[in-house]
Amino acid sequence: MGGVPHPGLRLRARPDAAGPVSTSRVLVVEHQESCPPHLVGTWLAEAGCALEVCRPYDGDALPALTAYDAVVVLGGEMSANDDDTVAWLGPLKAGIRDAVAAGTPLLGICLGHQLIAAALGGTVERNPRGQIVGLQPVGWSEDAAADDWVGARTGAEVAIHWNNDVVVALPDGAVVLARTPGGEVQAARFGPRAWGVQAHPEADTGVVTRWAESDRADHVALGLDQGAVLASIEEARPALEAHWQPLVALFAAIAEARR
């Protein structure tokens, strides 16, 4: 944070941007260079948010999450249980607990979703069904319809997944908002203004292609056709953006309303 320019740093809205207008300061915690805020960063900026991207893997000190109007915690290759080997995970979990207690709007994406669960007493483990890759249907729960964030936008039918771990036990008080076809928690509400999604609304084909390259050997061994997976993601791009951009804009509005 500071020092190194980033496409998501201090972004401002386009004059013609649609959706709610926000002037909120949003902290984005990025765990590795290949997992940037990308589309979510763009959409928050279009809603008027000023993003500050913290890269603890690059030496950035983790600030107090409660000093911001909202926080987004991104994905990464590490496990949410890797506190002993990833120095910033323990302090980040403590910050997450503070943010939830303070009512700071919080959105966790993939690893970020798992970190919120773990920070609040839930359990994250390797998925016994193996890695979930590519497009997955969104299985909204009955509780989703009444949720302050996703309630008005439960028309989203698909999402990009690329994860090995899953939340196998939610913390007390958390509510399942969606499940994958295999039954894994796909989205959850962890507090009045705290949400997590196991999917990757921030990713597009370009981002996922980098992840595919990293997993190529494993996928070849499994007989997974990465080309087909990437082609399906590219084909679904208009639907993905149409479904997820309004949700990100609504998160920005929630952040603005709390100011």
Note if 110 is an active site residue.
yes
192 to 2, 9, 105, 223: CA distances (angstroms): 31, 27, 8, 42
Comparing C-alpha atoms, which of 69, 39, 35 is closest to residue 52? 69
Instruction: Tell me the residue type at 228.
Output: A
Note if 161 is an active site residue.
no
234 to 2, 24, 202, 203: CA distances (angstroms): 33, 31, 14, 11
Catalytic residue from among 31, 113, 200, 243: 200
Catalytic residue from among 54, 202, 243, 256: 202
Give all strands (DSSP E) within the chain, no chain letters.
25-29, 50-54, 70-73, 106-109, 123-126, 132-137, 139-140, 158-163, 165-169, 175-179, 185-191, 194-197
Residue 237's H or E segment, with its range, is helix 237-258
Q: Which residues contact 220 (CB under 8 A, 6 or more apart)?
A: none
In the β-sheet with 106-109, what is the strand arrangement from edge to edge?
50-54, 25-29, 70-73, 106-109, 194-197, 185-191, 175-179, 139-140
Residue located via tokens 């076809």 = 181
- Phi then psi for residue 103, to 5 deg, are 80, 20
Enter the tokens of residue 176. Answer: 């399942």
Strand 185-191 and strand 194-197: the pairing is: antiparallel
Catalytic residue from among 110, 113, 161, 243: 110
Active-site residue set = 110, 200, 202
